[in-house]
Amino acid sequence: MNTLKSFVQDQWVEGREPFATLVNPSTEEPLARTSTNGIDMGAAVDHARAHGASLREMTFAQRGELLKAWSKALHEKRDELLGLAMQNGGNTRGDAKFDVDGAIATLAHYAELGAQLGSLKALRDGEAVQLGRTARYAGLHLWVPRDGVAVHINAFNFPAWGTAEKAACALLAGMPVVSKPATSTALVAFRLAEIGAGVLPRGTFQFLCGSPGELLDRLGPQDVVAFTGSSQTAARLREQLGRRGARLNVEADSLNAAVLGPDVEPGSATWDLFVADVVRDMTQKAGQKCTAIRRIFVAGDRLPAVQEALVDRLSQVRVGDTARAETTMGPVSTADQLRDVRAGIDKLASESQRVFEGKISESKGYFVPPTLLLARDAAAAKVMHKDEVFGPVATLAAASDAAGLVRRGGGGLVCSVYSDDRDFLRKCVLDVAPYHGRIYIGSEKVAGQTLGPGTVLPQLLHGGPGHAGGGEELGSLRGLQLYSQRVALQGDRALLDAIAPEKS
C-alpha cells in the first residue's frame, strides 16, 4: 500500500508505525497509509522560523507570484486531483470540483491581490492622521507580518480548498506555513502539498501528513494556529495555546439557517433560488460543508408548500458510489462520520418528525440518505439549535420570529435570508448580524448569478462568532490580518513614509 510522506525541513519523510489507513468511503477499500510518528516537530518549527525572514523580505508581488505558481501547477494536475478527491473523499465529480477549483481560485485571488500591492511589504491600515500642532507630527497604522510560524489544522471535508485558502493568506501576509490535513482524506492534501513543495521556496511550506504530535507545544506568542474542526478540539486548543500565548483562529460548528421571507411566492425566482440553495446545501458533499444549511425557517404561512418542494427535489437525488456517473450524492467520509450522523439524526428526531428519507442501494460504504426533518416546535426545540449533524440532513420549521430562532444557534458562519421585501430584510439581517460572519441575501435580482450561501468566496469573510468559533479567514486582504500585527507608528511624517511607504 502507498505510504504518504510528510514534508519537513524541505525533505519528504515517512513516519513510523502505527499507521492510519485512508479508505474509499464508497467502497471501504484501503487506498494509502500515513503516520507522522517519529517526525521531529521541534525541527519543523525551527526550520519555518529560520526561513520566515526570506518571506518577510519579499514584496507582496513576489509572495503573490508564489501563489500564482502554485495555483497554475494545481490547475495542470486538476484531473488527477479530482480523481483523488472522488476516491478518498466520497466526492461526486461536482463535489471534487468544488474543493479543487476552490483551492485553485483562492490561490489565484490572493496572487492577484499580491500583484496589486506590488512593491509594498506591509499594509497600511487607514489613513495617516495629524497628531501635533503641525501636519509634520503624524500617526499611522501598519499591518506587519508576525515573526513566527503559521500552523494550519484542516478539516476532512475540504482537503484541497482548506489547505490552499489558509496557506494563501499566511504566505501572502509573509508567514511560513506548517500545514496539517485531516488524516482520513489526506490523499488530496498530500498531492496538493507535493505540487506546492515544487514551487514554494525553502522553509516556507511544510506538510505533516497525520497527527501534529507535540507540534503545538513548540509555539509561542508570535505564532498563529488556524484550526478548522470540532468545538471540542477547539476548546482543547484554546487552553493549550492560551497558555503559550500563540494566536488561535477557530472555525468550528455552525447551525447555519436559511430564512424564507413571508413575501416570497411559490414559483417566483426568489422561491426557486431558496429551494435550489437548500437542496444543494443538503446534498453537495453529502452535506459535509461547515456552511451548509442545517435549519430552515419559513417566516410566512407557506410551510406545506416549502416541504412539498423540498421533498420533491430531494426525491430526485441518487445516492451511491461516486465512481458511477449517475450518482448525484456520495457517502460521508468515514465510518466515524457515518456513526455520528446517524446518531445525530436520531437525536434530532426526538423533537421532530422525519418527513423525507432517501434510499440507498449500496451494500458497502458510508452512505446516509438525504433526510428532511420537520420540527414539532422550533421555539421549544433544543437539539436543532445546538447539535451540528454533519451530513445530508436539515430541519424545517415554521417561524413567527425567524431572527430569534436563527440566534438560538449561538453564532454561525452564514445565515441566508430569502426575500424581496426591504423592510423584512433590513430587520431580519440586522437582527441576526451580530451572530454571524456572513449573511447571504437571496432575492429576485441576483437569483441567476449566486452560488448559494454554502460557497465561501475569497472576497468575503469566512468564520463566525460564538458556536462557530469566533474566527475570521479570507475576506480578501482581511485574511492577512490573522498573520499580522497591527502596529501604530508615530513621528515625523516624512520618516513614517520612508519606513512604511503608502503606495507601491
Q: Are 377 and 336 in contact (CB under 8 A)?
A: no
Residues in region 237-266 near its own copies by CB under 8 A: 238-239, 242-243, 245, 247
Half-sphere exposure for 339 (CA within 13 Å, toward CB) = 3
Residues in region 32-71 near its own copies by CB under 8 A: none
Q: Is 495 in the site for its own copies (CB under 8 A)?
A: yes
d(CA 401, CA 294) in angstroms, rounded, equals: 17
- For residue 365, what are the β-bridge partners? none
Judged by CB under 8 A, the residue of 14, 147, 263, 387 near its own copies is 147
* 165 noted as active-site residue: no
The continuous run of DSSP H or E covering 336 comes out as: helix 335-348
Question: Residue count at the site for its own copies (CB under 8 A)?
Answer: 76
Q: How, if at all, do strands 177-180 and 205-207 pair?
A: parallel
Edge-first strand listing for the sheet containing 20-23: 2-3, 30-34, 20-23
Task: Give me 184's grid cell.
Answer: 482520513
Q: Is 125 in the site for its own copies (CB under 8 A)?
A: yes
Closest CB to its own copies among residues 78, 238: 238
Closest CB to its own copies among residues 204, 352: 204
Print burial letters for 225-255: b (CB count within 10 Å at least 16), e (below 16). bbbbbbeeebeebeeebeeeebbbbbbbbbb
Give the chain's count of helices (H) and strands (E). 14, 22
Binding mask 312-351 for its own copies (x = CB under 8 A): ----------------------------------------
Piece of the chain touching its own copies by CB under 8 A; list 24-32, 69-77, 140-148, 256-264: 140-148
d(CA 425, CA 165) in angstroms, rounded, equals: 31
Q: How far is the CB of 469 from its own copies (least distance, A)?
A: 9
Piece of the chain touching its own copies by CB under 8 A; list 69-77, 253-261, 348-356, 487-495: 487-495
Q: Is 382 in the site for its own copies (CB under 8 A)?
A: no
Q: How far is the CB of 284 from its own copies (least distance, A)?
A: 18
Q: How far is the CB of 422 from its own copies (least distance, A)?
A: 5
* 239 noted as active-site residue: no
Judged by CB under 8 A, the residue of 122, 155, 258, 396 near its own copies is 122
Judged by CB under 8 A, the residue of 16, 30, 116, 129 near its own copies is 129
Q: Is 16 in the site for its own copies (CB under 8 A)?
A: no
The torsion angles phi and psi of 265, rounded to 5 degrees, stand at -85, 140
Residues in region 420-479 near its own copies by CB under 8 A: 422, 425-426, 429-430, 433-443, 445-446, 449-450, 457, 459-461, 465-467, 470, 472, 475-476, 478
d(CA 119, CA 83) in angstroms, rounded, equals: 39
* DSSP, res 408: T
Judged by CB under 8 A, the residue of 346, 488, 502, 504 near its own copies is 488
Print burial letters for 114-136: b (CB count within 10 Å at least 16), e (below 16). bbebeebbbbbeeebeeeeeeee
Closest CB to its own copies among residues 143, 356: 143
Judged by CB under 8 A, the residue of 222, 230, 233, 328 near its own copies is 222
Q: Is 491 in the site for its own copies (CB under 8 A)?
A: yes
Given 169, 209, 290, 415, the catalytic residue: 290
Given 251, 388, 472, 473, the catalytic residue: 251
Q: Are 320 and 90 in contact (CB under 8 A)?
A: no
Q: How far is the CB of 3 from its own copies (least distance, A)?
A: 38
Please report, as a single letter, which amino acid is at residue 349.
Answer: A
Active site amino acids = 251, 290
